[in-house]
């Protein structure tokens, strides 16, 4: 049962939860902000659209292709 932070807020999720699912469980579901300032969210769920890019422990990752781990820090805002 991983404990992580999402934009600085503590979040507890079930084992096997993807970061994309955690975005929906612990926030508004959005993953990033586009260059025009619009919030974006996971779309395809299978690693194709790239809309789910987030920063995890300082590295850009696809939320739909990453499982939550204990101690992970997920950021959706610059
Ligand atoms: S939701 Fe499309 S790449 Fe992750």
Domain count, the chain: 1
Ligand 1 within 6 A of CB of 45:
yes
Q: Which domain holds residue 44?
A: 3-75
* pLDDT tens, the chain, 78 aa long: 899 999 999 999 999 999 999 999 998 999 999 999 999 999 999 999 999 999 999 999 999 999 999 999 999 987
CATH number of the domain enclosing 65: 3.10.20.30
DSSP letters of the chain? --EEEETTEEEE--TT-BHHHHHHHHSSS--EE-TTS-EE---SSSSSS-TTEEEETTEEEEGGG-B--TT-EEE---
Compute, in angstroms, the gap from residue 65 CA to the centroid of ligand 1. Answer: 8
Compute, in angstroms, the gap from residue 36 CA to the centroid of ligand 1. Answer: 19
Q: State the pTM of this model.
A: 0.94
């Amino acid at each position: 049962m991983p404990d992580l932070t999402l934009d600085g807020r503590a979040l507890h999720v079930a084992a096997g939860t993807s970061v994309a699912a955690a975005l929906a469980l612990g926030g508004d579901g959005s993953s990033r902000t586009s260059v025009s300032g619009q919030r974006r969210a996971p779309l395809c769920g299978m690693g194709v659209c790239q809309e789910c890019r987030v920063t995890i422990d300082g590295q850009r990752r696809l939320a739909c292709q990453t499982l939550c781990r204990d101690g992970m820090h997920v950021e959706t805002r610059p």
